[in-house]
Amino acid sequence: MFSIKMRSSKGGINGLNGKHISGAERIVGSDEVESTVLSMLRRARSHERGQADFINIKITEFGEDSAVRIPLLPVYEKHSGSADEGRKIAAEELIRIGVSEKAVKSGLAALEQLSDSMRGAMLLDAQSGQRLDNFGERGIRCSNMDVADANAYIQRMSSLGLSGIHAREALVLASKVASANGTAAELCWSDDPNYVTGYVASPQFGYCRINIMKEMGDPVGGRIFFVKPNTDLPSYIDYLQNQIVLVKV
Ligand code: WAQ
Ligand code: MG
């Protein structure tokens, strides 16, 4: 199997200090490597955040037995009429999951205070609300995950009434995050200016889509992983970053 990763930016020098445009990763069989690379290239060059002037595509082969298989989270939806209402619904859902009120408040505030999008997520203690990682404005990147069977996944997505790359990728990422030992919940909204749907996810209840979580046109998005107290952080972070995970529908 092959892991293919793309990241792109604009305005930097050799990819350093530019504005992040887009990133993507897939895990595919040998016969899909070429088409996957091509679609990533196209994505980086025609993204609504801008046209990348630096594109990095990395391809790594690995043995199938190094992958762990996990189930896809169940999906449910809550309706909001505005960004404010969406964030209120998200807060209620996080509290129902067991995140403390204090931690919910600091999570929302942390995302709302961002002036630019992060590339990764912030880790917050689900009880105290304190930031646990020291990855600063970069955040923790959850990586090395994909669906085990792309066709089965697309079918499942359409049976759920979901289409498009945002939901497809977010649900896989959220499934991996929820499968990590120590995750209490996740909160997310997109950094794509015109994508206002966000979600709260948890190992207990699954993936809760909230149709409006930010104002149309807002280019700032982010993610919070709420972590249970007393979690072993180095192994938690190692799992998120490095463990190869295939999500089964
Ligand atoms: N690991 C950790 N954090 C990440 C990662 C990652 N691999 N990728 C993105 N982030 C963080 C980062 O701070 C981004 O700015 C932020 O999340 C948003 O990323 O319809 O599109 O890829 O059900 O813009 C959610 C709703 C869409 C989908 C989320 O996120 C649906 C989305 P984006
Ligand atoms: Mg984005």
Ligand with the closest atom to the CA of 223: 1
Average pLDDT of span 211-219: 96
Q: Which residues, in sequence order, are CB contacts of 120 under 8 Å at separation 6+?
A: 135, 138, 139, 140, 141, 142, 223
Closest to 209 measured CA to CA, from 48, 78, 88? 78
Ligand 1 pocket residue status of 226, Cβ below 6 Å: no
Q: What is the pLDDT of residue 83?
A: 98
* pLDDT bracket for residue 99 (50, 70, 90): very high
For a mutational test of ligand 1's pocket, the pick from 9, 27, 131, 191, i.e. the residue with the most ligand atoms closer than 8 A to its C-beta, is 191
- 0.85 exceeded by pTM: yes
User: Cα(210)–Cα(3) distance, rounded to whole angstroms?
Assistant: 31
- Asked if residue 195 has its Cβ within 6 Å of ligand 1, the reply is yes
* C-alpha 186 to ligand 2 mean position (Å): 16
Q: Decide if pLDDT at 132 tops 90.
A: yes
3-state DSSP call for residue 129?
A: coil
The mean pLDDT value for 84-111 works out to: 98
Query: Which atom of ligand 1 lies at the shortest distance from residue 117's CA?
Result: 15
137 — pLDDT class (breaks 50, 70, 90): confident
Q: Tell me the mean pLDDT in the region 224-228.
A: 98
pLDDT digits (tens, 9 = 90+) for 150-204: 999 999 999 999 988 899 999 999 999 999 999 999 999 999 899 999 999 999 9
**Cα separation of 150 and 1, whole Å?**
14
C-beta atoms surrounding 10 within 10 Å: 18
Mean of the per-residue pLDDT values of the chain: 95
Share above pLDDT 90 across residues of the chain, in percent, rounded to a whole number: 88
pLDDT of residue 225: 98
**Max CA distance (Å), the chain:** 49
From start to end of 11-136, where are the E strands?
19-28, 54-61, 67-71, 75-78, 121-125
Flag whether pLDDT at 88 surpasses 90.
yes
Residue 154: what pLDDT?
Answer: 94
Question: What are 151-160's pLDDT values in tens digits?
Answer: 999 999 999 9
Query: What are 15-55's pLDDT values in tens digits?
Result: 898 988 888 899 999 999 999 999 999 988 988 788 999 99
Number of the ligand 1 atom closest to the C-alpha atom of 25: 7
Q: How much is the CA Rg of the chain, to the nearest whole Å?
A: 17
